[in-house]
Structure 1
């Protein structure tokens, strides 16, 4: 998880105190680890993480700083609603925020975005400000759906989930890049250049054969290995 945060930092996904990753605890699945409030993604180490329960109590790890309150409400709702989810990622990354203003799903414009084909992606159509109520967190989790891998939160940002932190991290970087590509395509289309979409059958085929949890885990490894090299393993402390 610390390494995933450092990948996000290098890619420019930081925005003040916003953004969080959660990982379900393997021994007590009704608790999860998350990052402390106000510490830069690029500085995070394993020893910085906080273990919280579903009631919002810090019960382990480094408790010198609190967890992000809005982050807790989002992640606890997702973990409660989706027992299959081990990790969830949410930040206020620039292209995700830009595309979220349209309140539309990503279109099947290329091979990579087909990893979010069909029910794998969703859009949360409401925005009520910072998530400070349990009900708002539950609505977000409901919008993600039982099969969702990535969600566009209107006027807010992106959220991805996975069976490993590597999978969730890779899906986040992929969704952010896909938002960037979508915006580029929209700009070209506005000047009269027609978009050509991936055929439905091809999109489904690619999703079914290339977007399984193991493949997505391995998709994350190049960024993870590069970041570990660049930070000389500082995330492990």
Structure 2
């Protein structure tokens, strides 16, 4: 459905899914206090204004609900703030750059996990050591660290380095994932996290790692890509995402408000 013509129900679903993303990232221990963000692009406003959802500043991820998400514009200015705490505008520097350049990105998810930061801090990045990591073969962009992302001029460099990729290792910093839906971004994030954990564990054994041949890794990446494409294109029920929502219902009742 084109921007600006989405129904209220769809917007409500987006708010629910984004709140679920925050809760799932927290549930998997991938949050970083009140820092890092997951943003979602709303349909354009009545005057064509760009609008995004972001977490209220100061809340931990496990405190985010569909009703307390903040609506902001592409500059980070607050449009609607039910909780009244505003947002960490500096934290939206990366997200605004990606959303404005990549209209296929409904959701942008940024993490600082120990495993993700570790893999982002080595020259080789993520190696195709197993099926999990093979899905990202040839699909990862890199952006060199420039300090805490407060400089708006860095946005153009982030976008240039990202290109058409949906996964980025922010060198010495963490990870960035783009999803055509919130569900896709979360699945990318969880799969990337366990890939990084597996790499740290394998290399920490002091034995010789078996790196998959390029052709096998590329074939596996293609298999994953086709599965993701099919799920997004069919626009229907997503059994994996449904299972994640049931996990939230079971382990964090009341998360949806």
User: TM-score, normalization: structure 1?
Assistant: 0.89
Residue ranges of structure 1 left out of the alignment (5+ in a row): none
Residue number in structure 1 paired with 2:161: 143
Q: SS at the partner of 2:255? A: helix
Please give the residue correspondences for 1:117-196 in structure 2 after superposition, counting only pairs within 5 Å: 117-118=137-138, 120-124=139-143, 126-146=144-164, 148-188=165-205, 191=206, 193-196=207-210
Distance (Å, rounded) in 1 between the aligned partners of 2:161 and 2:30: 23
**Relative contact order (C-alpha < 8 Å, sep 6+): which is higher?**
1
Cα drift, residue 161 of structure 1 = 0.7
Residue number in structure 1 paired with 2:216: 202
Cα drift, residue 18 of structure 1 = 1.1
Checking the alignment, whether the CA contact within 8 Å between 1:36 and 1:66 is kept in structure 2 is: yes
Residue number in structure 2 paired with 1:33: 53
* Residue of structure 2 aligned with 1:13, choices 15, 30, 34: 30
Distance (Å, rounded) in 1 between the aligned partners of 2:108 and 2:98: 8
> Relative to structure 2, which stretch is displaced further, 221-230 or 172-181?
221-230
Q: Does 1:66 align with 2:86?
A: yes
Distance (Å, rounded) in 1 between the aligned partners of 2:211 and 2:123: 19
User: TM-score, normalization: structure 2?
Assistant: 0.82
Distance (Å, rounded) in 2 between the aligned partners of 1:82 and 1:51: 19
Deviations 1:40-75 (A, max 9, x none): 111110111111111221112426012122321110
Checking the alignment, whether the CA contact within 8 Å between 1:111 and 1:198 is kept in structure 2 is: no
Cα drift, residue 36 of structure 1 = 1.1
Checking the alignment, whether the CA contact within 8 Å between 2:43 and 2:50 is kept in structure 1 is: no
Checking the alignment, whether the CA contact within 8 Å between 1:160 and 1:172 is kept in structure 2 is: yes
Distance (Å, rounded) in 2 between the aligned partners of 1:40 and 1:144: 28
Distance (Å, rounded) in 1 between the aligned partners of 2:77 and 2:252: 31
Checking the alignment, whether the CA contact within 8 Å between 1:47 and 1:61 is kept in structure 2 is: no
Residue number in structure 1 paired with 2:12: none
Distance (Å, rounded) in 2 between the aligned partners of 1:93 and 1:37: 19
Checking the alignment, whether the CA contact within 8 Å between 1:97 and 1:155 is kept in structure 2 is: yes
> Relative to structure 2, which stretch is displaced further, 149-158 or 206-215?
206-215
Q: SS at the partner of 2:193? A: helix
Residue ranges of structure 2 left out of the alignment (5+ in a row): 1-17, 233-237
